Structure 1
Amino acid sequence: MKKMDLTEFNKIGFPDVTKCEALFDGFRDGLFQAEYSPNCKRSIKIQLDIKPESGGGFEQRFFHLGHPGDGAANSRLMIELRSKTDGFWYLDVYYSNGEKGQALIDENRLYPHGQWYTLEIDVTEKGISGYIDGKIECRSEEVPFRPLPFPGLSLGVRQNQVSWYKGGLRNLSIGEVNER
């Protein structure tokens, strides 16, 4: 796993950034690496901590890797949340391998804002698995891993600068699933 240095990202807005942590305002703060490519050939694992805060939009993307466009033909991995007005959120993971895409979401699995959570997203030839604090959150065998052919990584917002995230993000690592 490669631990990402968040100070190496280009900023949009004024996110508060250290080497391993960033705070986003939910309106105009984001981090970008246009040429980033994870170089994962067999699988991909994303690990990070998030601390969603109340007051942001309903749909908040805090991780977008790969193609910035829509549609299953555009290979990408996006991790986002849906923020409810009652102080809770739920996870939404989307992966497209260039032929088929799938969203994994369960609006009944709610978590309170204002706390740190550890997320892990694994995509292998067997499909997608998502974990929150080490417990399985979502799983599907519908879309197997294929290397992402398009570079680009954004944090705190989708690459086309919509769906801004309000909260903290820290300890981002990216690598192959079998790396320990």
Structure 2
Amino acid sequence: MIARRLGALALAALALAPGLAMARQVVWRFDNLARIGHLAPKVLGHPRVERSAVGKAVAFDGQNDALILPRHPLAGAARFTAEAVFRPDGGAFEQRWLHLASDDVPGRPPGETRMLFEIRVVGASWYLDTFVKGAGYSQVLVDPARLHPLGRWYHVAQTYDGTTYRSYVNGVLEGEARVAFAPQGPGSSSVGMRRNGVNHFHGAIALARFTTAALAPKAFLPAPSPR
């Protein structure tokens, strides 16, 4: 099971990438609602823990369910990898299922600094939308032509190596752009919705991993089987 193997895989991923020994990793396993990554989540609605092909996961109803975690796991990182194993199940066109937000900075618009994973649902398919925004930069990576079937488990990732921002589905590059990214500040995260309480997610999330380095696809967590 992916969730059970995650601790060993985290060490193996760094071993595959020379020069990353000083990188920091944060792992969030969504196998309960009481403690995720050593953090106590605020639970909104009625998300539920389910057993699945990838181990335990938290399922969200697309209407009211969400979790709020009191941490931005990539705060201070000049380079990063954000990964997750999730299953989109359909519903509304626009769904934001992982939103990392820096605390508001006096004199700047609320919620300006953030990074996120979204999906767009089209019929029985979805496509990935990733985004980073902060002072002096704003970049979306999205390609509506890259459709994937709903109701299956996927690995998704976004990385930044100091010059280029990239997004992946099951280890396959989907988008890239040069960005003058700057490290984001401390904050909080929402899971299953946008941080301001809209664009809820219908599906399930098994785990997420955050690394303060840009991992190559060979060092990503393994992609789930197609079903």
Task: Tell me if both proteins adopt one fold, taking TM over 0.5 as the criterion.
Answer: yes
Matching residue's letter, 2:77: K
Note if 1:60 corresponds to 2:92.
Answer: no
Note if 1:75 corresponds to 2:93.
Answer: no
Residue 151 (structure 2) aligns with: 114
**What TM-score comes out, normalization by structure 1 length?**
0.87
Judged with a 3 Å threshold, the aligned counterparts in structure 2 of structure 1 residues 37 and 173 are, in CA distance, closer, same or farther, namely: closer
Larger radius of gyration: 2
Judged with a 3 Å threshold, the aligned counterparts in structure 2 of structure 1 residues 97 and 116 are, in CA distance, closer, same or farther, namely: same
Aligned residues: 177
Equivalent-residue separation in structure 2 for 1:123 and 1:57 (angstroms) = 29
Does the Cα contact within 8 Å between 2:137 and 2:181 map onto a contact in 1? no
TM-superposed deviation, 1:95: 0.6
Gaps of 5+ in 2: 1-24, 220-227
Equivalent-residue separation in structure 2 for 1:172 and 1:150 (angstroms) = 18
Matching residue's letter, 1:95: V
Deviations 1:48-87 (A, max 9, x none): 1111002x1110001100148897x821101100011x20
Does the Cα contact within 8 Å between 1:20 and 1:171 map onto a contact in 2? no
Which of 32, 49, 58 matches 1:22? 58
Judged with a 3 Å threshold, the aligned counterparts in structure 2 of structure 1 residues 67 and 178 are, in CA distance, closer, same or farther, namely: closer
**What TM-score comes out, normalization by structure 2 length?**
0.70
Residue 42 (structure 2) aligns with: 10
Does the Cα contact within 8 Å between 1:25 and 1:167 map onto a contact in 2? yes
Equivalent-residue separation in structure 2 for 1:123 and 1:45 (angstroms) = 7
TM-superposed deviation, 1:176: 1.3
Does the Cα contact within 8 Å between 1:97 and 1:144 map onto a contact in 2? no
Structure with greater helix share of residues? 2
Note if 1:146 corresponds to 2:170.
Answer: no
Equivalent-residue separation in structure 2 for 1:33 and 1:49 (angstroms) = 18
Gaps of 5+ in 1: none
Structure with greater strand share of residues? 1
Does the Cα contact within 8 Å between 2:76 and 2:186 map onto a contact in 1? no
Matching residue's letter, 2:183: P
Equivalent-residue separation in structure 2 for 1:178 and 1:94 (angstroms) = 16
Equivalent-residue separation in structure 2 for 1:166 and 1:68 (angstroms) = 26
Does the Cα contact within 8 Å between 2:161 and 2:214 map onto a contact in 1? no
Equivalent-residue separation in structure 2 for 1:154 and 1:164 (angstroms) = 10
Pairwise mapping of residues 36-51 of structure 1 onto structure 2 (< 5 A)? 36-51=72-87
Judged with a 3 Å threshold, the aligned counterparts in structure 2 of structure 1 residues 5 and 116 are, in CA distance, closer, same or farther, namely: closer
